[in-house]
Amino acid sequence: MTVLFTLLACVLTFIPVSQAEEPDGGLTVDTNDPAALQEATRVLREELKLASRPHTYILIDLVSRSVLMKGRGVELHRLPIERWRASSQSDLPALFTLHKRPPIMRRKIDPAAGAEQDPISLSDMPTEYQLRFSPPLTIYVDAPLPGNWQWALWTGRSWYRRLKTWVGILWTGDASLSTPSLQLTLAPEQAQSLAWTTTDGMPLLIRRTTDK
């Protein structure tokens, strides 16, 4: 209950300084930027609803470039985002619900050989995968690319996905194939950690930047 009142206080009032922070250090707000203040207020209002329920949820903070796993308004885990790109931030205003968690990449064994399957661990989780949400949103999670051409390769991968979508629309005539998307690059172990902690039906909230 204390957490709920704290979040509500953050929604209704902000410290009159240039940088105000959420009690757990998860949200920094430039109070001299009206658009940033409005966005932070929107996120906190939505989070207040989520914090009243007994389940964990994801907050992707594009301002601090972090993925936060939270429960009851308390930060449980934080994953730094190395790079991100959104198809359009105007397509990311709502609360989303995860359709299905990523697949587990397990090594196949031969039962006839008498080998036993080890319990599922973090190493069994993928480093590159898609997360699909409702309302329609696709989040592409990628690991950093090797070499000195990371930016070029990362941009090329992003454009390849767009081209694939456009070709699909032209081929099928189904405009619904074009859905809002968010591309995140996380360190391999961080990508696996996100895949490990997601569950079907998990809520997602995105804090947008005020960049045009």
> Does residue 135 have a cis peptide bond before it, meaning omega lies within 30 degrees of 0?
yes
Quick one: pLDDT at residue 11?
A: 44
Contact 181, 87 (CB under 8 A): yes
C-alpha 117/C-alpha 205 separation (Å) is 36
Token pair recorded at residue 16: 């009159």
Q: Within 10 A of 124 (CB to CB), how many other CB atoms are there?
A: 16
C-alpha 71/C-alpha 134 separation (Å) is 20
Contact 197, 149 (CB under 8 A): no
* pLDDT tens by residue, 59-68: 999 999 999 9
pTM for the model: 0.74
Contact 191, 105 (CB under 8 A): no
* pLDDT tens by residue, 73-92: 899 999 999 999 888 888 78
C-alpha 140/C-alpha 85 separation (Å) is 10
> 107: pLDDT confidence band, cut at 50, 70 and 90?
low
DSSP conformation letters of 155-203: HHHHHHHHHHHHHHHHHH--GGG---EEEEE--HHHHHHHHHH--TT-E
Q: What is the DSSP letter of 51?
A: H
Contact 99, 203 (CB under 8 A): no
**Mean pLDDT on 140-156:** 69
